[in-house]
Structure 1
Amino acid sequence: MTYCVGLRLDRGLVFMSDTRTNAGVDNFSKTRKMFSWGVPGERLITLMTAGNLATTQALVSLIEERVKAVGDRDPSILRAPSMFQVARMVGATLKEVIADSAPVGQKSDAAFQATVIVGGQIQGSAPTMFMVYPEGNFIEVTSETPFFQIGEAKYGRPILVRAYDANMRFEDAVKLLLVSFDSTVRSNLSVGLPFDLMIYENDAFEPLLERRIEQEDAVYQSISTGWGDALRAAFEHLPTFDL
């Protein structure tokens, strides 16, 4: 399985993904699920994937091929005039990969499904983010839905819903994501470290920070331990139910 989150803040965008893949209860490996393409001073586009590994790898390979030879292989996300058009291209490519991979009669919601978060900024418009579904359609972040999760979303969602604030600093957003990811890792073996992190600040057209967070990372370990202790302390201070 997978866990990826994209947050839209007033200051920019924050992306985080895990790297675990599995082919059984005792067969785990690591693979990158976050990818970025850009033109300095003009655009930066980041994509995160969840779902069938063969499907997501084929999707990224097709996008990469069209990016590397933009003069010969349109459409390319590096030539799209807007992030909306980028989302359309990614959706069409995902739908194409699923259709090519599936046997006759296979549906997009079956074995070859994948879901994608794509976000970034193109000069002349504001940063934004989309969730792209296996059918190729997509939705955009809004003030009511300011973050997207794909993969194993349920364990890490409660902290995001309760603590997210569009005005928060990047540092606090990363802390929030680490708590969300730690909750997910502790609840589901198919999600695991290391985590890939990318922070994008409005109008920069290049990453503010790209980093891989390993199991032994001191900040992650402190947050993981501190969050567990804080939950236990909060539980102890709640009113007791009288029988």
Structure 2
Amino acid sequence: MTYCVGLLLDAGMVLLSDTRTNAGIDNISTYRKMFTFEDPGERVVAIMTAGSLSTTQTTIARLEEAIEEGGPRSIMSAPTMLGVAEIVGDTLTEVSGKVADKLGDRAQSARASMIVAGQRRGGDPRMFLVYSEGNFIEATGDTPFLQIGEHKYGKPILDRVVRPSTSLADAQKAALLSMDSTLRSNLSVGMPLDLTVIESNTCSIARTRRIEAEDETFQAMSAAWSAALRDSFATIEI
């Protein structure tokens, strides 16, 4: 399985994904689920994937091929971020349909979803959750984050903390703690993690980071969060 989360804020966007892929308890692998495309100052697009590895890898490969060829199917030449989401949705639908046809009775395992985020010069930062059927929903001021994969464990902290006015520094902390909660509760989500930060109106990636299991900063944050929860729990009276 997987867990990916994207936060859409006034200051920019924060995206975080794990890398674990499993096809059974004895077949666990590491695959990147975060893909970024950048024309600095003009356009930046980030895509995170969950679901069938065959479907998502093929979809990303086709999107990359379309970028090289140029033309209307390229996410780097679509006139708007809505157009980018539509291209990703159409490509995902086409690929998942072909994979499903080959799988027959196991067609359900061809399903996948993607978070598409980015900004073009002159437009607003936007973030979409794209489904296998090609339809999508968009992050809004009321719900400024999107999740795919094993989202239930990491959602409570996002609901309580994240607002459009949240700073990029606090948003990174919230995303990492959301991931930490998921890692503790679900073995199908695993390290290393990929983090990408995009500042508003720059149309470029401000920060990208691979976080390994032995990362001291992440470990310290996880331990501090656990201690804070225990201390808060002890002070509550009923």
Q: TM-score range by the shorter chain?
A: over 0.9
Distance 1:104 1:17, change over 3 A: closer
**Match of 2:180?**
182
1:165-204 → structure 2 map (5 Å cutoff): 165-204=163-202
Q: What's the CA shift string for 1:130-185, capped at 9, x where partnerless? A: 00011100111111121000000000000110111222221111111111101000
Identity %: 50
Between stretches 218-227 and 48-57, larger displacement belongs to 218-227
Give the Å deviation of 1:106.
5.7
Residue type at the aligned position of 1:87: A
**Contact 1:109–1:134 (CA under 8 A) maintained in structure 2:** no
Distance 1:137 1:86, change over 3 A: same
**Which structure 1 segments of 5+ residues have no match?**
none
CA distance in 1, matches of 2:117, 2:177: 22
CA distance in 1, matches of 2:174, 2:93: 33
Distance 1:21 1:214, change over 3 A: same
Q: What's the CA shift string for 1:194-215, capped at 9, x where partnerless? A: 1100000011111000111111
**Contact 1:59–1:97 (CA under 8 A) maintained in structure 2:** yes
Q: Please tell me whether residue 102 in structure 1 is matched to residue 84 in structure 2.
A: no
**Match of 1:67?**
67
**Contact 2:101–2:107 (CA under 8 A) maintained in structure 1:** no
**Match of 1:151?**
149
Size of the alignment, in residue pairs? 238
CA distance in 1, matches of 2:122, 2:164: 22
CA distance in 2, matches of 1:9, 1:69: 33
Give the Å deviation of 1:67.
0.7
Which of 214, 217, 220 pairs up with 1:216? 214
**Match of 2:18?**
18
Q: What's the CA shift string for 1:88-109, capped at 9, x where partnerless? A: 0000000000111122796998
1:32-71 → structure 2 map (5 Å cutoff): 32-70=32-70
**Contact 1:20–1:30 (CA under 8 A) maintained in structure 2:** yes
Give the Å deviation of 1:40.
2.2
Residue type at the aligned position of 1:171: A
CA distance in 1, matches of 2:50, 2:63: 16
Residue type at the aligned position of 2:226: G
**Contact 1:98–1:108 (CA under 8 A) maintained in structure 2:** no
CA distance in 2, matches of 1:231, 1:40: 41
**Match of 1:231?**
229
**Match of 1:88?**
86
SS of the equivalent of 1:24 reads: coil
**Which structure 2 segments of 5+ residues have no match?**
none
CA distance in 2, matches of 1:104, 1:208: 41
**Alignment RMSD:** 1.7
CA distance in 1, matches of 2:103, 2:49: 24
Q: Please tell me whether residue 131 in structure 1 is matched to residue 129 in structure 2.
A: yes
Distance 1:164 1:151, change over 3 A: same
Give the Å deviation of 1:38.
1.9
CA distance in 2, matches of 1:27, 1:233: 39
